[in-house]
Amino acid sequence: MAEEEIFILTDHDGSEREFKELFSFDSKDFNRAYIILEPVSVNEGEDMDVVPFIYDKDADEGMLQPLETDEEYDMVEEVMNTIFNDPKLQ
């Protein structure tokens, strides 16, 4: 089994948090790859927020980039809803 890659993200307060890949996918419409990350650990009573990014695994720097347009957000949200709500895909 391959070792899981851990992404360390810094929030707007400067706090670092570890995330792991929940799933990734390619979009032909946007000609990009996307990755959905989830926290490695969640404190009791805390919501588990997933975070989407444009994903360029071959980039030396800037591997994760924020989504750029409302259309991208809508597409990623649709993919996430499909995966999270379809028991065959879970």
Q: How many domains does the chain fold into?
A: 1
Residue 90 covered by a domain: no
Say what the pLDDT of residue 25 is: 95
Is the pLDDT assigned to residue 87 strictly greater than 90?
Answer: no
Cα separation of 30 and 8, whole Å? 26
Give me the pLDDT at residue 73, please. Answer: 95
> Can you tell me the distance from the alpha carbon of 85 to that of 46, in angstroms, rounded to the nearest whole number?
22
Return the sign of the alpha-carbon dihedral for residues 47, 35, 32, 57: positive
Q: Quick one: average pLDDT of 46-73?
A: 87
pLDDT at 43 over 80: no
Domain assignment of residue 62, given as a range: 6-85
51, part of any domain: yes
